[in-house]
Structure 1
Amino acid sequence: MPEHPEVRKLDARSLRGLAHPLRMELLNALRRHGPATASQLAERLGESSGATSYHLRQLAAHGFVEDDPERGKGRERWWKAAHHGLSFDDELLTDSDPAVRGAADMYLHEVATGQTRDLSTWLGDRGSWPEEWNRVWDMSSATLRLTPEQTRELIGKMHELINGYRELAAEGNDAGTARIRVHTHAFPIATD
């Protein structure tokens, strides 16, 4: 993914701090729904507040979440995501440390699982959305024959297009909008 000031690049140390299913869920919940307390996140995710509190502190130690000083009173601690997104360096998959390679593999599988869950949730809930939203969703696939360089170019163009809409959304007003999840996948497949 192209460099963006609000996107954090994962390195070996930070990846080990993030590569846990509950930590990834907590970070995603804060990104999607905004600041929350450990108790609120526990209720949302069906976890104990002790577990969410512990994992939020671990995420904070690695710089993924931070206190939200504008919220909370007394001992109530509110958390917010420190970045809008993450970028993954493929070099992590070939790191000399097997723990880093394992964390990288686990991270990627959790991302894929989360994206599948997003799509399944939409399919299950789409009947509750107004008709105009039921006419503008997409689930498509294509099989292309490309070189690695052409694939890299395609991915770059897709990200450039998405980022253009991100900038458009930042400038516009919220009337008539909804948050839209966009997943892109590009990977080689075996042929017989």
Structure 2
Amino acid sequence: MSEPEEHLSRTLNPRALRGLAHPLRIQLLRILRRSGPATASQLAERLGESSGATSYHLRQLAAHGFVEDDPALGKGRERWWKATLQSTTFDESLYKNPDPEVRGAIAVYTHEIANIHTQELNTYLGTRHDWHESWLGASDMSDFTLRLPAEKLRELDERIHALIESYRDVEEKDAPDAERVRIHFHAFPQRED
């Protein structure tokens, strides 16, 4: 499935964060964004869950505006779901929210995203021999250590995000050898040993 022409994003507020911060909901939204519309039963089979659980969590995602019915695909009682937006942005003001529910939702959300990143990287490492050799040299797993104040790290983050966004609409995205490429970017302070 190709990505939509326009890459729409949503910034999480406390209510939306609480609605999304569940491991199964994050996985459901991720699959709908990456693979397109699906039914609760299809998603349940893919994730090894019951269709009752996926139906419930899809309704919760819909209540918070992350997914919606896709009436073009539904026939009879069959309900197809699609993602409403292609990405989610984490608003840093959430870290200052005094509500314990919001702090708990932040922990669930950020840990689940870290788990997904780890799973995706491990899947690539375990299957890299299946890719053409041109991908082996093009892929990257680097780490860097810099000594920066917080404002310089923010500047670096913004510049990296802008660079990545500049590649979203490259002409080569429809080339025969083009593949979906995942980019994980982590930048965080670390205490000296």
Task: Tell me if TM exceeds 0.5.
Answer: yes
Instruction: State the SS of the aligned residue for 1:154.
Output: helix
The gaps in structure 2 that reach 5 residues or longer are 1-5
After superposition, the C-alpha distances for 1:52-100 in whole angstroms (9 at most, x for unaligned) are: 0110000000000011122121111111111110010122122121111
After superposition, the C-alpha distances for 1:20-53 in whole angstroms (9 at most, x for unaligned) are: 0000000001111111110110111111111001
What residue identity is the alignment partner of 1:39? S
Q: Alignment partner for residue 149 of structure 1, among 151, 172, 175?
A: 151
- Is residue 14–residue 94 contact of structure 2 (8 Å, CA) maintained in 1? yes
Q: Using the alignment, how far apart are the partners of 2:15 and 2:107 within structure 1?
A: 15
* Residue 62 (structure 1) aligns with: 64
- Count how many residue pairs are aligned between Structure 1 and Structure 2: 188
The gaps in structure 1 that reach 5 residues or longer are none
What residue identity is the alignment partner of 2:187? A
Q: Using the alignment, how far apart are the partners of 1:149 and 1:137 within structure 2?
A: 29
* Residue 90 (structure 2) aligns with: 88
Please tell me whether residue 28 in structure 1 is matched to residue 30 in structure 2.
yes
Runs of 4+, deviation exceeding 4 Å: none
Q: Using the alignment, how far apart are the partners of 2:85 and 2:147 within structure 1?
A: 35
Q: Alignment partner for residue 44 of structure 1, among 43, 46, 55?
A: 46
Q: Using the alignment, how far apart are the partners of 2:50 and 2:173 within structure 1?
A: 39
Q: Using the alignment, how far apart are the partners of 2:142 and 2:7 within structure 1?
A: 30
C-alpha root-mean-square deviation of aligned residues, in Å? 1.5
Instruction: State the SS of the aligned residue for 2:54.
Output: helix
Q: 1:130 Cα shift?
A: 2.0
Q: Using the alignment, how far apart are the partners of 2:48 and 2:7 within structure 1?
A: 33
Instruction: State the SS of the aligned residue for 1:190.
Output: coil
* Residue 164 (structure 2) aligns with: 162
- Is residue 17–residue 59 contact of structure 1 (8 Å, CA) maintained in 2? yes
- Is residue 93–residue 105 contact of structure 1 (8 Å, CA) maintained in 2? no
Q: 1:167 Cα shift?
A: 2.3
Q: Using the alignment, how far apart are the partners of 1:94 and 1:149 within structure 2?
A: 18
What is the TM-score with the length of structure 1 in the denominator? 0.93
Q: Using the alignment, how far apart are the partners of 2:7 and 2:130 within structure 1?
A: 36
* Residue 190 (structure 2) aligns with: 189
